[in-house]
Amino acid sequence: MAKTIVAYDLGTGGAKASLYDVGGACLASTFVPYETLYPDTGWHEQRPADWWDAVVKSTRALLAESRTPAADVECLAISGQSLAVIPVDAAGSPLRESIPIWSDTRASAQTAAFFREVDRTAWYLATGNGFPAECYSVFKIMWYRDNEPALLAKARLVLGSKDWLNLRLTGKAFTDFSYASGTGVYDLAGWKYHPGFMRASGLPESLFPEIVPSTRIIGNLTAGAADALGLPRSVKVACGGVDNSCMALGARNTGEGRVYTSLGSSSWIAVSSAKPVLDPVAKPYVFTHVIPGLFTSAVSIFSGGSSFRWIRDAVLGGEAVAEYDAMNEIAAASPVGANRLLFNPSLAGGSSQEPSPRIRGAFAGIDLRHTRADLVRAGMEGIAMNLGAVLEVLRRFVPLAPEMLMVGGGSRSRLWLQIFADVFRMDCVKTNVDQDAASLGAAAVAAVGAGLWKDFGKVDEAHRVQDVCRPIPANVEKYRRLMPAFEMLRRQQAELGELLHGIDLG
């Protein structure tokens, strides 16, 4: 019997189920979408029932499409979207039909109350929680307490996304260190919930699940779960991890200084290290790694691929006019530096590493000689230079590995890969794993937990290099000369964003 592993990537847009062999090769994947609800300003909700439905449907489709015998499946694990809060009763049933997800920011009053008791900088340095504080779990639970007290009074636990799914799968309720590190009350140095922060929240620690290693096999499938998924009850379920940490594992961030860039709608750079990268000014966001003894620390921009899509739609006239491959051909007609045209990609505002959250995007230096090729290339270069600027935050703290693994949609462009290599001053590598990094990370967690792998070394073996772009010295020098102008553009756009925000147009 050929043993296989099922890995789930529970994202914002849907759930992906993937089947892996014991060598770490992906045999098949299926995806089932679900919707996000926006019932009020700053409220972003999803239905846990939709997650379960997506897991069931994707699993059954995976088995059918791969023609893999269900009896071959040895184990499974979930990479779960972070910072979700599902209150459950004694039977494990959700007490709310839809729950706040990671991007929900309704808990501003609760955040303000907490920081009247706790110094904000001390909190960040202990937790590494560099997202807007309202996003973190504890403040959303405090919102339940203040706005839906009857609901919270019935709650036995408040669980994260993959932890609630694990409860459905096994009947057991746990979390792991990586997911716990996003609660807002976790002490990175102590590897436990922080008693002082818990007291300041006014919440009982009993609402938070017990923390175990990501690789811990928390149980086998219940009869009901096995029947729903079409899998045998013998399947072992590992505790799994938060998406950021599972993606870091799947992206080969298994040792000190290993680093990757994710080029999605938003884009980020993450490094693994034995010490978290903590800077009270730039505020990299940190999660405990699924690998014991490591942390994954990241910097980001909110609008990477989405800015490139905006250029396609608003500048070139939309998908019917320019596919992404065609955009690369257009950009290739413009020289390095796009004839001194700059693009600031902050179309969705600024992350903690930006000069202001109200920073906005801009083309700058434009004149009558500039062509659409210059506009497209400037867009690609601006996204790369913006990520290059925030990469310097990590470089100040951790000696980086000599190469950068690139994952996500943008990594498929060789022109863009070369631009990143020249801006980052690093070899930039694309492998076969690409957008499956979180799935591979979850599969690795399950494989180690079930004893199929002795350690995480097989993750490297699962990657097959498809392309490498090395820095071209002449291009590196040109971008070095452009960076002061780009940094000036960032500062000016931040000041302009603040000014525009304060203008009342009635």
pLDDT tens digits, residue range 62-115? 999 999 999 999 999 999 999 999 999 999 999 999 999 999 999 999 999 999
Q: At 244, phi and psi to the nearest 5?
A: -60, -40
pTM of the entire predicted model: 0.94
Residue 189 has pLDDT above 80, yes or no: yes
Calculated CA dihedral for residues 139, 141, 146, 149, nearest 10 degrees: 180
Average pLDDT, the chain: 96
**Helix orientation angle between 473-501 and 372-395, rounded to the nearest 10 degrees:** 90
What residue ranges define each of the domains in the chain, with the CATH number in brackets? Answer: 4-245 (3.30.420.40), 252-432+472-506 (3.30.420.40)
The pLDDT of residue 27: 96
- Residue 208 and residue 361: Cα distance in Å, rounded? 40
Going by C-alpha positions, the residue among 329, 344, 350, 330 that lies closest to residue 381 is: 344
Stretch 33-52: mean pLDDT: 96
pLDDT, tens digit (0-9, with 9 covering 90-100), for 194-207: 999 999 999 999 99
- Residue 321 and residue 327: Cα distance in Å, rounded? 10
Structure tokens at 116: 């009247």
Q: Do residues 341 and 362 make contact, with C-beta atoms less than 8 angstroms apart?
A: no
The pLDDT of residue 459: 97
Q: How confident is the model at residue 410 (pLDDT cuts 50, 70, 90)?
A: confident
pLDDT, tens digit (0-9, with 9 covering 90-100), for 474-496: 999 999 999 999 999 999 999 99
CA atoms lying within 13 Å on the CB side of residue 486: 29
Structure tokens at 355: 């000069």
pLDDT, tens digit (0-9, with 9 covering 90-100), for 291-338: 999 999 999 998 898 999 999 999 898 876 778 889 999 999 999 999
pLDDT, tens digit (0-9, with 9 covering 90-100), for 366-387: 999 999 999 999 999 999 999 9
- Residue 76 and residue 436: Cα distance in Å, rounded? 16
- Residue 391 and residue 62: Cα distance in Å, rounded? 38
Residue 56 has pLDDT above 90, yes or no: yes
Q: Which stretch of 97-106, 184-193, 334-343, 402-411 has the lowest confidence by average pLDDT?
A: 402-411
The pLDDT of residue 163: 98
Q: Do residues 432 and 443 make contact, with C-beta atoms less than 8 angstroms apart?
A: no
The pLDDT of residue 1: 65
The pLDDT of residue 317: 86
Rg (CA), the chain: 23
Residue 505 has pLDDT above 80, yes or no: yes
